[in-house]
Amino acid sequence: MDAILLQILNGLDKGGAYALIALGLTIIFGTLGVVNFAHGALFMLGAFCAVSIKAVLGLEKVTLDPTQTTAWGTPLEIRQPYVEAWFGDLGATLLEYSVPVSILIAIPVMLLIGIIMERGLIRYFYKRPHAEQILVTFGLAIVLQEIVKSIFGANPIPQPAPDSMQGMVDFGAFLGHEAGNVVYPIWRMTYFLFSLGVIGLVFAFLQFTTFGMVVRAGMADRETVGLLGIDIDRRFTIVFGIAAIVAGLAGVMYTPILSPDYHMGMDFLVLSFVVVVVGGMGSLGGAVLAGFMLGILQSFASMNEVKEIIPGIDQIIIYLIAVVILLVRPRGLMGRKGVMEG
Amino acid sequence: MRFMGMNKQDWILFIGFSVVTLLGPIIFSPIGAGYPDLLQKFAIYGIFALGFNILFGLTGYLSFGHAAFLGVGSYTAVWTFKLLSMNPIPAIIFATIIGGLFSAAIGFISLRRTGIYFSILTLAFAQMSYNLAYSVLTPITNGETGLQLTQDDPRALDVALGRDYGAVLPSSDLFGIDMTGYPGFYFCGVMLIICFFISLRIFRSPFGMMLRAVKSNQNRMNYTGLNTRPYALTAFIISGMYAGLAGGLLAVTDPLAGAERMQWTASGEVVLMTILGGAGTLLGPVIGAGVIKYFENIFSAFNDNILEQAFSFLPETLQHIMVQVSSLFVGEGWHLTLGALFMLIVIFLPGGLMEGMRRIRNLFVSKPPGGTGSGGSADTPVQNPA
């Protein structure tokens, strides 16, 4: 029982990341009708937002202290980050919580990146075939990741979680099981809750605001909404920006779990696409459901007991499920009729 | 005037293509590509792209998993070397057959869906093969190290024929001709010519016509009471066999097979070659493969010193800036160039380089294309005087 609970927990944070990326992908697909292969790159850019903010916060002021000398006889260098020098304890806290702080800055940055991408490139591809959309966004993804590589280098850059969030939470004791059996890193728990929060916000935005209502109407019948005199294109641009924010935030918060490197986007992209297709293209609920489902299934498949029965299953489980689902439910789990039939 | 189902124009194209391929070492030497290692790559990836084009160019099915067949071909060829003989002929025959069988199985399932779902299915299968090759199938694939020849391989056929390689690690040889250097290139080149001929015949055949019909409107074909699946599946298998052959040839020129050949970025590369050259044209994929492999070779060899020389005519500060900017695009940053080039092609020239050539020619020649141009200009995808 404890083992099963632990595997479910293990799957949740990864599932959260899949769900967030897939949610953005499927929103873009449902509204703009564009298959965006550069969405993984947005996830990666979000992660590197966190990296650069930490680097900026960590800029150090170097002063020489002539009264003390090092072992080599040179004056001792005292290094102190500027934020600490300027803001004291607040600065130290900022530096400590650089990953959560990055969220605040990543939101406008990702919105801007998303809008530039949509206005500058994607909008010219609304009417082009899906194959060309895939190809041009694939090219864009390569360009973005190579730019990041040339700035930040090819090695992963670890981003520590704040000290207070680095321990483990004893989840088993919380549920009244024996203590110590089901322990789980606090940060992963935070990631899961965070992803639920973001998903909730996106759904609330689409469900309860006028803007969201118009967007949903546009998803259902773009032409009619246009005929009613609503500039649907402008709203869709903002929707693209929102999808970029969601992917970016997923990336920011994922950095303490997986040290970001330039190709993390590509690794997640393939899986997220599978998630979207399993959930049903254009279905928001489907993307979230499939994201968590595949995350949890993947962690179950990497249990030793399972691997003994079917060797290698942990490597292929997601793809295998995608194949089965596509063959028995062509539209995915919750796909809408008439969207990308085939 | 027709011979073997091809008219005069096609024969000129074919003969021109063969001559260019066989004289490759001379023709490509002025641009610094006249050496066998690179020419071999042109030929092998040309075959890979030709095969991909039969699927994507003719039927419009965008497969994102073709690298799997390339990898399977490589593994098969290396195993043939290990078990049977160092002669490349059985190796490439088995590579083609196994590539075909593999693609028949994957194609049979994947072709139940079209459009993006088809792409995702092929991608899923290729990633499964890649992950398995890295993990559980290690006894067959030798995992991360890659499958290599060893001195004590059985090589049953060679032993039966009394060939002994002594204490050195053998390299593949065709009846005593070592498959390195120019002989290696000519082996691949002849394969490329054969593949091009088959591809030309497919393009001009009723079967090719049927595949184009599948691309233009699958529903219409279904409504006329025709089952399109067998045609698409045949095209898929043929392109899988091409990929298997290309993988086999890779192993012939360098007897080593690794799982990274099956990764999905490798599948992306062949898509790129085909699109760059022009999907659905005969020559396009080969040209695309050549251009990409050529620039990969040239650009990744560039470094700051060469760049400084190139911009030495500029004032020093300007030179410094130019070197800084352009060094992003060469050497390690070659992929950036590739990505940018790819975007530009898809945005401005969806028909690829062949489309570009046609446009340039139309600027100068006012009459419609289709004259007796030499080499590259003689094929248009739609014009098929059959």
Interface of B with A in 270-289 (CB under 8 A): 271-272, 275
Nearest residue to A251 (alpha-carbon basis) of A157, A322, A185, A186: A157
Closest CA to B203 of B6, B70, B373, B48: B6
How large is the ipTM? 0.78
The alpha helices in A97-181, defined as continuous H runs, are 98-120, 130-152, 171-174
Question: CA Rg, chain A, in Å?
Answer: 22
3-state secondary structure of A77: strand
Choose the closest CB to A326 out of B117, B127, B136: B117
Q: Which of A209, A294, A291 is nearest to A250 (CA)?
A: A291
Domains of chain A: 2-57+97-328 (1.10.3470)
Residue A271 has pLDDT above 80, yes or no: yes
User: pLDDT tens for residues B332-372?
Assistant: 677 788 888 888 888 888 888 888 888 888 888 765 555 44
Lowest mean pLDDT segment, chosen from A48-57, A223-232, B22-31: B22-31
What CATH number is given for B11-264 in this structure? 1.10.3470
Q: For residue A179, what pLDDT is reported?
A: 67
**Type of residue numbered B172:** S
Contact list, B105 vs chain A (CB under 8 Å): none
Contacting B with CB below 8 Å, chain A residues are 35, 121, 124, 128, 130-132, 134-136, 138-143, 146-147, 149-150, 266, 270, 273-274, 277, 281, 311-312, 315-316, 319-320, 322-323, 326-327, 330, 340, 342
Q: What is the Cα–Cα distance from A320 to A324, expressed in whole angstroms? A: 6
What is the b/e burial string over B165-185, where b = at least 16 CB atoms within 10 angstroms of the residue's CB?
A: eeeeebbbbbeeeebbeeebb
The structural domains of chain B, with segments of one domain joined by +, span: 11-264
Question: Using CA atoms, how far apart are residues A141 and A25, in angstroms rounded to an integer?
Answer: 14
CB-based contact A150 B62, cutoff 8 Å = no
> Cα(B201)–Cα(A299) distance, rounded to whole angstroms?
50
How many Å apart are CA A327 and CA B125, to the nearest integer?
A: 13
Give the model confidence (pLDDT) of B66-120 as tens digits: 999 999 999 999 888 888 877 888 888 999 999 999 999 999 988 888 877 888 8
A211 pLDDT above the threshold of 60: yes
Residue B275 token pair? 């699109």
Burial category of A29 from C-beta neighbours within 10 Å (exposed 0-12, middle 13-18, buried 19 and up): buried
d(CA B209, CA A99): 58
Q: What is the pLDDT of residues A87-111, one digit of tens each?
A: 777 777 777 788 888 888 899 999 9
CB atoms within 10 A of CB B216: 10
Chain B residue with Cα closest to A307 = B136
Angstroms from B143 CA to nearest CA on chain A: 13
Distance CA A177, CA A170 (A): 10
Cα(A233)–Cα(B332) distance, rounded to whole angstroms? Answer: 39
User: What is the chain B residue with the closest CA to A308?
Assistant: B136
